[in-house]
């Protein structure tokens, strides 16, 4: 949700990322997903997502993994619009950045 992430729009246009979804993770971070690895890998990474609008750096990594799993269960147009609107609020309020 930070402005420095705007260049990732190019990745969205190329189909490598989505606007909404779990943030990309490194290989060591992916190991922390344990049984949720398959869930994470089934989703296209996003510029913003549940983690970003739920406190971002103030959220434990285990909570982040759970948020990605919850997103997988709720994924859909309406839920994505809700996250997008929350992202706008977080950016303008400069919370959790």
Q: Strand, coil or helix: what is 19? A: strand
The dihedral region occupied by 75, where left means phi > 0, alpha psi between -120 and 50, and beta the remainder, is: beta
Predicted TM-score (pTM) of this structure: 0.79
Q: Strand, coil or helix: what is 1? A: coil
pLDDT tens digits for range 37-71:
998 999 999 999 999 898 877 889 899 999 999 99
Distance, CA of 87 to chain centre: 10
């Amino acid at each position: 949700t930070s402005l420095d992430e705007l260049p990732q729009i190019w990745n969205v246009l190329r189909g490598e990322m989505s606007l909404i979804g779990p943030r990309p993770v490194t290989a060591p971070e992916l190991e922390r997903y344990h049984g949720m690895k398959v869930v994470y890998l089934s989703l296209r990474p996003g510029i913003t997502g549940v983690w970003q609008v739920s406190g971002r750096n103030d959220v434990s990594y285990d909570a982040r993994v759970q948020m990605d799993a919850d997103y997988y269960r709720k994924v859909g147009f309406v839920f994505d619009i809700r996250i997008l609107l929350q992202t706008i609020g977080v950016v303008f309020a400069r919370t959790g950045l």
